[in-house]
Amino acid sequence: MEAVEPFMDEWGPEKVMVVWDPKTKMKGILVIDNTARGPGKGGIRLEPDVTTEEVLRLARAMTWKNALADIPFGGAKAGIKGDPKGNKDALVRAFARGLKGIVPSEYVAGPDMNMGEAEMGAFADEIGDMKACTGKPAEMGGLPHEFGSTGFGIAEATEVACRHAGIDLNGAKVAIEGYGNVGTFTHKFLAAKGATIVAVSDSHGMIFNVKGLDYGKLLNTKWKQGSVSKYRDGKALPVEALFSQDVDILIPGARPDVINGTNIGAVKAKIIVEAANIPIKEEFERKLQKKGVLIVPDIIANAGGVISSSAEFVGKDEEEMFRAVRKKITANVDTVLINSRRDSVTTRDAAMQIAKERVRNAMKYRGRV
């Protein structure tokens, strides 16, 4: 209880659950932050070191993200503490069994780190309801994140940010942290817009080539050799070197708090687009923005996944989903950047003003204020 109390405020959290399965030794954490706008929506991440604090912070971020995307979901998040290389199916099914009483009425799951369409299929099957989660295989009526909705949204957000910053995206130099689902599709869609991806990292290392990294070849290297650092046509560097590269655009797309007090002074990028959830604490965002860095916060930049989830939940197809992601992401980023400049506030503060107003209004209708 002590770990949760610092996070309790007027917005939530409404429920914090720990699920334990003796047979599989699965420990799961679910935080339902706020359901004023609909059932709590947020992905499940599978990591050996996931913590309750991390899930609490991510659940709150989902409350704001879903409100900003203007979709009928509240905020939630879940984590399973386990080995991503172990029996994921057993862990996911054990977690689902522990949540049967509240899914999908209070919580709708989705994929996050080390989780994909196969795991979402298992989750829905175990619950016995296709509305239990989104990101399911297409064969189960889903719109899997393997379609690339989040990376597509990041590319759209980056294009809008470049217009505001007076940077030509065609030829702009980009560094991407993380080369899983989000990072790979971000690379693909930005390259299609003419950007030059010069640096990419994963958990094993980083690769750099000032002339650009070929998407197909890099993806093939990652699949076959397990790390982007094995890519032949480039210079392998330590993971942490990514954040100090001389690039126009920096895209943190993996873990929380990667730009912090130890490396903030080395950041040279003119634009940061937050593909990961909570990659920079607010105090460091403010410092970067005082230096003139344009930041597109996570709660608007990486909303492609939740917009896709909303499309899947109501039965839309892939084409309709991508249209919705483009429309919502470009409009939201443009509005937030305009409001930030007009009101002389940070981009996160501008985004939060919109999100809080939407959630507060929903809470009033439900008699929670």
Residues 159-208 pLDDT 10s: 999 999 999 999 999 999 999 989 999 999 999 999 999 999 999 999 99
Determine the average pLDDT of the residues in 17-43.
97
The answer to whether 31 and 106 are in contact (CB under 8 A) is no
Inform me whether the pLDDT recorded for 278 exceeds 90.
Answer: no
What stretch of H or E contains 19? Answer: strand 15-21
* Mean pLDDT, the chain, whole residue set: 95
- Spatial separation of the C-alpha atoms in residues 17 and 151, rounded to whole Å: 30
Q: What percent of the chain is predicted at pLDDT more than 90?
A: 94
Model confidence over 82-99: pLDDT tens digits? 999 999 999 999 999 999
Inform me whether the pLDDT recorded for 358 exceeds 60.
Answer: yes
Determine the average pLDDT of the residues in 28-37.
98
Residues with catalytic function: 77
Q: Which tokens hold the place of 189?
A: 């869609």
The answer to whether 359 and 37 are in contact (CB under 8 A) is yes
Q: Please state the length of the chain.
A: 369
Boundaries of every domain in the chain: 5-59+74-140, 149-304+331-353
Q: What is the pLDDT at residue 256? A: 84
Q: Is 346 helix (H, G, I), strand (E, B) or coil?
A: coil
Q: What is the pLDDT at residue 312? A: 94
Q: Which tokens hold the place of 21?
A: 């399965």
Same fold, 5-59+74-140 and 149-304+331-353: yes
Q: What is the pLDDT at residue 255? A: 85
The answer to whether 295 and 347 are in contact (CB under 8 A) is yes
For 5-59+74-140, which CATH superfamily applies?
Leucine Dehydrogenase, chain A, domain 1 (3.40.50.10860)
Q: Is 315 helix (H, G, I), strand (E, B) or coil?
A: coil
For 149-304+331-353, which CATH superfamily applies?
NAD(P)-binding Rossmann-like Domain (3.40.50.720)
- Spatial separation of the C-alpha atoms in residues 257 and 172, rounded to whole Å: 25
Inform me whether the pLDDT recorded for 247 exceeds 90.
Answer: yes
Model confidence over 295-339: pLDDT tens digits? 999 999 999 999 999 999 999 999 999 999 999 999 999 999 999
Inform me whether the pLDDT recorded for 1 exceeds 70.
Answer: no
The pTM for the full model equals 0.87
